[in-house]
Amino acid sequence: MSSWSERRVVVTGIGCVSSLGNDADTLWRNIVSGQCGIDRITSFDPSPFDCQIAAEVRDFSPTPAFPNPKEIRRTDRFSHFGVYAGWGALKDSGLDLDRENRDEIGVFMGSGIGGLKTTEEQHCVLLEKGPSRISPFMIPMLILNIASGLFSLYYKLRGPNFATCSACATATHALGEAWATIKRGDATVMFAGGAEATVVPMGIAGFSSMKAMSTRNAEPKRSSRPFDRDRDGFVMGEGAAILVLEELEHAKRRGARIYCEVVGYGNTADANHMTSPDPEGEGAGRAMKMALRHAGMRPEEIDYINCHATSTPVGDICETRMIKNVFGDHARTLAASSTKGATGHMLGAAGAIEMAICCKAVEAQVAPPTINLDNADAECDLNFVANTAQERRIEGFANNSFGFGGHNAIIIGRRFQG
């Protein structure tokens, strides 16, 4: 078996569920054309809430990914998203599981919150009908590791399996840990990413009470505006994204399509505040430097950054400062954008949907736009690809994710070169 330093890891499949499409090609077309998946909430009456908008998944059926309809009734919406995205990634990868050693195929599918819809519904049952009426499936429906477990169960994948949970850094941690698992030889193929379904009354109320959400209810399509001077908070999104990470020689032997190579991973803590990032982005900067070190790349070799920027007054500035601190003069040469203006903030799934977008950006050699960036904040003065996609050379890229609790996770990838 080759050593850690010799084993290379590539992305060979992408699956997703989002407000802008339930496959990577549809998602990319809508992202690059500047579409927005945010609108007034339809899954419940949002009128009593300060924030009445979200990027909901509509016209979705998990049926193709599940062994039978009974399993769908016994699982939460976030698991529906996760299992479907995993199924989509499997299809996209071209893997024939019947010809593979399933002991060497694992799943790291995380969630920031898990089965919030189930928690909310079953709590109402408890209060209204008593403890005897609680569903026996309540616990396995709401625990956030269950999507990862179910996908491995349904597809008989017996390799490494767990669920990351680090708020909005969840999916990027899953991807990074999957990369490391393959690098050290513990798996040949990993399905990795995140799933989230928090557009429910409790989720909207909780984040609204923190004053973290946009209240631009009259203009849903213009509500999430990363780096713009008029931003007033994030807009919640839901969905999932799963990527197939694969050891290069295995991928080559089966003639797999290769989106890009994953070459670096950074994982640090701010140790600063429960919810606010380090003011200078110092913790995130250490994660970026760690990822660059793993990748053996200089800052000047990064051509595009998909920013975490959620459209909050503080966070977008901190991330801008981090990019300037780490990249120096090159910060003004590279392209950086936030796609959350289009997808909403998908919390524990955000890093994976954004990694999918990075893969498509490398494939197309196009930097996707930051929509609604009409008047840049004076402190957000880099090339944030305002409103219109930019055709440009993208060899190396970084995908940033930062979560409540001070969690920082960054993945670095590059265009595959045999």
Which of these, 235, 210, 187, 165, lies nearest to 19 by C-alpha position?
235
State the catalytic residue, choosing from 80, 173, 308, 407: 308
Q: Tell me how far apart the terminal alpha carbons of the chain are, to the nearest angstrom.
A: 20
- Asked about 308 being catalytic, the answer comes back as yes
> Would you say 61 and 217 are in contact if contact means Cβ atoms under 8 Å apart?
no
Three-state SS across the chain? CCCCCCCCEEEEEEEEECCCCCCHHHHHHHHHCCCCCCEECCCCCCCCCCCCEEECCCCCCCHHHCCCHHHHHCCCHHHHHHHHHHHHHHHHHCCCHHHCCHHHEEEEEECCCCCHHHHHHHHHHHHHHCHHHCCCCHHHHHCCCHHHHHHHHHCCCCCCEECCCECECHHHHHHHHHHHHHHCCCCCEEEEEEEECCCCHHHHHHHHHCCCECCCCCCHHHCCCCCECCCCCECEECEEEEEEEEEHHHHHHCCCCCCEEEEEEEEEECCCCCCCCCCCCHHHHHHHHHHHHHHCCCHHHCCEEECCCCCCCCHHHHHHHHHHHHHHHHHHCCEEECCHHHHCECHHHHHHHHHHHHHHHHHHCEECCECCCCCECCCCCCCCCECCCEECCCCEEEEEEEECCCEEEEEEEECCCC
Quote the distance between the C-alpha of residue 104 and its chain's center.
24
State the catalytic residue, choosing from 16, 36, 165, 168: 168
Which of these, 231, 223, 241, lies nearest to 55 by C-alpha position?
223
Backbone angles phi, psi at 73, to 5 degrees: -65, -25
- Asked about 330 being catalytic, the answer comes back as no
CA distance 245 to 268: 22
CA distance 197 to 54: 11
State the catalytic residue, choosing from 80, 173, 294, 345: 345
Residues labelled catalytic: 168, 308, 345
